């Protein structure tokens, strides 16, 4: 196994990423890490994400990587490891204080599939109080980041719950998740700055700097599906994965989700990494009526 049941130093994470790049059993390695190594290294997944980012930045300034692997090939492997890591981690990386990211009550009781997620009056009030107390404990500049992160966490854990849910039409956990997500969405709306009329008029003529990414509030699979469906229904032409990553937040693993396979009978792209274990949300988009004119 790559991972050992011990405390890791920050300097070791680069080597762990190097070994994961060469591993033929990434899922097995990360499952082991989550079960046996995470409790000794609560920042394990965060530091692995950071090590991957550092590796990408380092390789940008090198024409060739180690062992003669081309830069493009290495970036593809790094994206694959990042994609696998996002599937196994129980915490979504974010620029938030450790008091948020490593709060076990917040992660295990209020944002995850736990008994308190069910719709009980006291649990519901407890959830609201906890989120409000956390908002008061962090600087105002982190408010929206925190709320969007809570929504991502709830959506991620909701989807994991649905995979094993025995009665999705009347499940109390589902009701609990829906209530919490709607509550967080209302807080996001309240916390979002409102444009004055003069600001709105100015924004029509002076677009924001493109370095300000669009805040994508769904999952990466949902963002990937949106572009697949828009292209399929004739609303956009071809798109580049790198452009999506440049323009949207929460899009690091987009190249992996949009890696196409091919249906040998129809010749169409299948996007197996996107539609495996995923319930489509944007399939209802109507075809562009001008497409066939």
Are 145 and 94 spatial neighbours (Cβ–Cβ below 8 Å)? Answer: yes
Mark 176-208 as b/e (b = at least 16 C-beta within 10 Å): bbebbeebbeebbeeeeeeeeeeeeeeeeeeee
Q: Is residue 3 part of a domain?
A: no
CA proximity to 241, closest of 266, 202, 273, 212 = 273
- C-alpha count within 13 angstroms, C-beta hemisphere, residue 163: 9
What's the CA gap between 232 and 235, in Å, rounded? Answer: 8
* Domain C-terminal end among 150, 168, 193: 193
Q: How far apart are the first and last CA of the chain?
A: 58
- pLDDT for 200 equals 44
Q: Is residue 134 part of a domain?
A: yes
- pLDDT for 72 equals 66
Q: Is residue 129 part of a domain?
A: yes
Same domain, 102 and 179: yes
Are 215 and 44 spatial neighbours (Cβ–Cβ below 8 Å)? Answer: no
Q: Is residue 93 part of a domain?
A: no
Are 40 and 5 spatial neighbours (Cβ–Cβ below 8 Å)? Answer: yes
Grouping H, G, I as helix, E, B as strand and the rest as coil, residue 64 is strand
Angle between helices 143-164 and 172-191 (to 10 degrees): 160
Q: Is residue 172 part of a domain?
A: yes
- Residue 230 bridge partners (DSSP): none
- pLDDT for 119 equals 64
Instruction: Show the domain range for 225.
Output: 208-293
Q: Is residue 156 part of a domain?
A: yes
Domain count, the chain: 3
* Domain C-terminal end among 88, 122, 148: 88
Q: Is residue 198 part of a domain?
A: no
**What is the full per-residue pLDDT of the chain (293 aa) written as tens digits?**
899 999 999 899 999 999 999 999 999 999 999 889 988 988 888 889 888 888 887 776 665 444 445 556 777 888 888 888 877 777 777 888 888 888 888 888 888 876 667 667 778 888 999 999 999 998 888 899 999 999 988 988 888 888 888 887 778 888 888 888 989 998 998 888 764 544 444 444 444 444 468 888 877 888 888 998 898 888 898 888 888 888 888 777 788 788 877 666 666 667 777 776 667 788 788 888 876 55
- Length reported for the chain: 293
Q: Is residue 5 part of a domain?
A: no
* Domain C-terminal end among 53, 88, 123: 88
């Amino acid at each position: 196994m790559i991972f050992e049941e011990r405390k890791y130093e920050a300097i070791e994470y680069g080597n762990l990423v190097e070994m994961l790049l060469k591993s033929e059993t990434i899922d097995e390695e990360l499952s082991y890490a989550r079960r046996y190594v995470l409790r000794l290294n609560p920042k394990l997944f965060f530091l692995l994400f950071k090590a991957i980012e550092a590796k990408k930045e380092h390789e940008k300034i090198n024409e060739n990587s180690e062992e003669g692997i081309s830069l493009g090939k290495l970036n593809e492997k790094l994206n694959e490891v990042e994609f696998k890591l996002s599937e196994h981690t129980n915490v979504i990386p974010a620029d938030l204080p450790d008091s948020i990211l490593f709060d076990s009550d917040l992660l295990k009781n209020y944002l995850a599939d736990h008994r308190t997620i069910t719709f009980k009056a006291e649990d519901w009030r407890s959830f609201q109080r906890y989120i409000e107390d956390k908002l008061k404990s962090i600087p105002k500049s982190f408010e929206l980041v925190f709320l969007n992160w809570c929504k991502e966490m709830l959506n991620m854990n909701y989807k994991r719950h649905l995979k094993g849910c025995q009665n999705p039409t009347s499940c109390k956990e589902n009701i609990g998740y829906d209530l919490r997500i709607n509550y967080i969405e209302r807080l996001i709306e309240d916390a979002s700055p409102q444009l004055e009329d003069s600001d709105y008029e100015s924004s029509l003529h002076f677009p924001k700097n493109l370095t300000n990414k669009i805040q994508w509030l769904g999952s990466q699979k949902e963002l990937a599906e949106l572009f697949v469906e828009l292209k399929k229904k004739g609303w956009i032409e071809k798109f580049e994965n790198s452009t999506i990553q440049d323009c949207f937040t929460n899009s690091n693993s987009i190249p992996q989700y949009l890696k196409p396979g091919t249906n040998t009978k129809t010749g169409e792209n299948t996007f197996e990494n996107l539609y495996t274990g995923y319930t489509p949300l944007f399939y209802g988009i109507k075809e562009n009526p001008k497409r066939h004119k």
